[in-house]
Amino acid sequence: MLLTSYQLGNLTLPNRLVMAPMTRSRAVDGKPTAETATYYAQRATAGLIVTEGVQPNEVGQSGPFTPGLHNDEQVAAWRVVTDAVHANGGRIFAQLMHGGRVGHVEVAGHRPVGPSALSTGSEVFTPTGLQPAPVPRALETSEVVDQITAFAEAARNAVEAGFDGVELHGANGYLIQQFLSSSANQRTDAYGGSVAGRIRFAVEAVEAVADAIGRERVGIRLSPGGQIQGIVEENVPVLYGELLKALPDIAYIHVMATTDEEVLMELRKAWPTAFILNPGGQIGPDESTLEQGRRWLANGADLISYGRAYLANPDLVERFRLGLPLAETPGRETWFGAPNGYVDYTGYQH
């Protein structure tokens, strides 16, 4: 079933494997490079590729050497990437990732912003190495709309750059999840407090993007109950149940297995369109397996996303199809910004 086709919005996917978004930190001046085009084109046999996180505006940049989609030069550079993927028969969504409080003045030249003036309590990547996360500036109510607008404008830029759609990053402790979180969001205005207040930013951002480029071109990634970068979420089944009810019927939700299977199954039942499941859960040392993908498809997921397995296996679909062994995923030292460990992996050597 993993290798059968699937209709996702207006796209016919040849299989149900999704290449999950993974930060690679190899952009130059906020732009993807020729190597970026090679990297994604090598993996174009995936049913769908979701790119690394792309900042929708300058203040949304969370780490060094990450790409953006907020000026004409970035759009032109991404066009080279999307053309390469499409030339190899692939389909590609841009993940729009606003770091919110996960950032540093050395990264973006701005003090990070967030729902409240509360630090993650962890460290963040900067051009000079790991540093303690700063206390962000709390967004004024009037400024929240500016961040929502940035997502919509970046989505328009993504379509101009040739992307088939966009995924909003609502997981892993970045801005959208900061608004969902009771630990990061202690606002007393309409964007905080109750469940209805804490889901409002996510819903309005998705609605704005859907209005900008069409619902069939929009997804959102979620990590219900995921505890990373200082995030705590209270009453996860209710919080995410209400969120899914309030979201428009976009192309998909992309859910990380960061909570109990029972909760994940209820979210699957509650969601009317495509349900992408990432079996790996919270970011960690273990890769998702073919067996996990098959089991989740049998349990109702429509598509399965794989992250680390795609680093050293650009031909992951073919390896799964033929039952070939996977190449060993490289060490963490090659994940971000290294001169190797990017486009130097080949298909299976028969």
Confidence band of 92 (pLDDT split at 50, 70, 90): very high
Residues 6+ apart with CB under 8 A from 344: none
Give the pair of three-digit tokens for residue 266. Answer: 């209820």
When divided into structural domains, the chain yields a total of: 1
What is the percent of the chain with per-residue pLDDT over 70, rounded to a whole number?
98
Task: Look at residue 154 and tell me if it is in a domain.
Answer: yes
Q: Is residue 328 part of a domain?
A: no
Q: Residue 282's pLDDT is what? A: 61
- Phi, psi at 327, each rounded to 5°: -70, 150
d(CA 301, CA 320): 18
Query: What value does the mean pLDDT take over residues 220-238?
Result: 93
C-alpha 24 chain-centroid distance: 13
Q: In this structure, is residue 331 part of a structural domain? A: no
Candidate list 39, 40, 174, 310, residue with the active-site label: 174
The answer as to whether 332 is a domain residue is no
Q: Tell me whether residue 146 is in a domain.
A: yes
Active site residue 174: yes
Instruction: Give me the pLDDT at residue 283, please.
Output: 59
* pLDDT higher than 80, residue 285: no
The least confident of 176-190, 278-292, 319-333 is 278-292
pLDDT for res 125: 86
Average pLDDT of 39-59?
98
CATH code for the domain of 156 = 3.20.20.70
Domain residues for the domain of 213 are: 6-304
338 in any annotated domain: no
In a domain, 325, yes or no: no
Q: What is the pLDDT of residue 49?
A: 98
pTM equals: 0.96
Across the range 136-145, mean pLDDT stands at: 97
Please check whether residue 270 lies inside any domain of the structure. yes
d(CA 227, CA 173): 8
Local structure of residue 338 (DSSP, 8 states): -
Q: Can you tell me whether residue 243 is helix, strand or coil?
A: helix
